[in-house]
Amino acid sequence: MSSWRLYDPTPKDHIVELMRIKILGGNAKGNSVYRERDCMIAHGNSKFLQERLFEQSDKYEVTICDICGNFTADKNSCTSCETDEVSRVKLPYVSKLVIQELNAMMIKTKISVV
């Protein structure tokens, strides 16, 4: 009969040493995880997240009114506030869906275009 531990009592220094050994030596297929981690650290988390969650995902471009912050149906003007001050904004498609769901539940979301 085996017993399960809720946490690993291994000291942090030991884990860091094991990771260092794994990075410096080891097989080629196991190093890909460490290369991705090193790339994330080297290029900065913001660029890494932008690439993972936006560039390699589902890019979508919407037209947003500069005054009221709503999505517009027309590419050249906003019908709700009757202005032609609109901007094209790129965002993930999931974000567009979330904003539309919130608007459907009568929760006003405004996207500010700078």
Q: What are the tens digits of pLDDT across the range 91-107? A: 888 889 999 999 999 99
Same structural domain for residues 78 and 94?
Answer: yes
- Assigned domain for 113 exists: no
Ramachandran category for residue 106: left, alpha or beta (phi over 0 → left; psi -120 to 50 → alpha)? left
pLDDT (tens digit per residue) in 38-81: 776 776 777 777 777 777 878 899 999 999 999 998 899 999 88
How many structural domains compose the chain?
A: 2
Q: Residue 41 and residue 113: Cα distance in Å, rounded?
A: 30
- Assigned domain for 73 exists: yes
Same structural domain for residues 92 and 76?
Answer: yes
Which structural domain range is residue 38 located in?
12-55
- Assigned domain for 71 exists: yes
Are 41 and 23 spatial neighbours (Cβ–Cβ below 8 Å)?
no
Same structural domain for residues 46 and 82?
Answer: no
- Assigned domain for 1 exists: no
